[in-house]
Amino acid sequence: MNAREIEYMITYQIGALQAIAHAASTKVTHVKPHGALNNMAHVDRDIATAIARGIRAADVDLIFVANACSEMVAAGHAAGLRVAEEACIDRTYADSGLMTSRTLDNAIIRDPDVAVRQVMSFIEEQAIITLSGKRLPSRIRTFCIHGDEPTAVALAGKVREELARRGVDVLPLTEMTF
């Protein structure tokens, strides 16, 4: 798909989701690209811009959940959207800011204590810390965990418990300032 087709697809899909949400007496508050599109938009400014334009066309008040350190962050801000930079608690990062490929042994974090350390480093450093130790500054606002991993529930529980223990407020995106 070219950038214009991606933009229209995003707007169309958001519109459909908004109609479904309305029928269920609820509201769509944020949007997050997923899978291959998300990975491409991480590094491709044209795709990231198309996504941001598509979100803006559907509803300028939607929060754009974008990979920390990605082209989507810049595109979202340029489009006048609120952008919630996201980091994954269960994945490691390459120096490019991309998640480490799942084909590598060290790509997935399955140990709850390691996940807690990573999340706390995201919060304290306001940065992604890569496997090599490189610091990539980012205003991380939200976290992702991959539900297809059997350790997801344990990791999420341990991270949530540690955030509470340390007095870190966990808020819905709609209550955050951007």
pLDDT digits (tens, 9 = 90+) for 145-175: 998 899 999 999 999 999 999 999 999 999 9
Whether residues 100 and 61 share a domain: the answer is: no
One domain for residues 165 and 130: yes
Same domain, 3 and 48: yes
Residue 56 sits in the same domain as residue 1: yes
The DSSP element (H or E) to which 83 belongs, if any, is strand 82-88
Q: Which long-range contacts (CB under 8 A, 24 or more apart) does 79-83 make?
A: 79/49, 79/52, 79/53, 79/55, 80/56, 81/52, 81/55, 81/56, 82/178, 83/178
- Does residue 52 lie in a domain region? yes
Confidence category of residue 4, pLDDT binned at 50, 70, 90 = very high
- Tell me if 175 is assigned to some domain: no
Q: 40-87: per-residue pLDDT in tens?
A: 999 999 999 999 999 999 999 999 999 999 999 999 999 999 999 999
Kindly state whether residue 176 falls inside one of the protein's structural domains: no
Note whether 54 and 98 are same-domain residues. no
Domain identity same for 103 and 69: no
Helix or strand run (H / E) with residue 71: helix 71-78
Q: What is the pLDDT of residues 102-150, one digit of tens each?
A: 899 999 999 999 999 999 999 999 999 999 999 999 999 999 999 889 9
Nearest to 54 by CA among 64, 67, 40: 64
My answer on whether 75 and 115 are in the same domain is no
114 and 53 share one domain: no
The total of structural domains in the chain comes to 2
- What's the domain range around 104? 89-169
Mean pLDDT of 10-14: 98
pLDDT at 54: 98
* Statement to judge: residues 45 and 109 lie in one domain: no
On whether both 44 and 21 belong to a single domain, the answer is yes
**Is residue 22 domain-shared with residue 61, that is, in the same domain?**
yes
Structural domain includes residue 177: no
Position 178 confidence tier, pLDDT thresholds 50, 70, 90:
confident
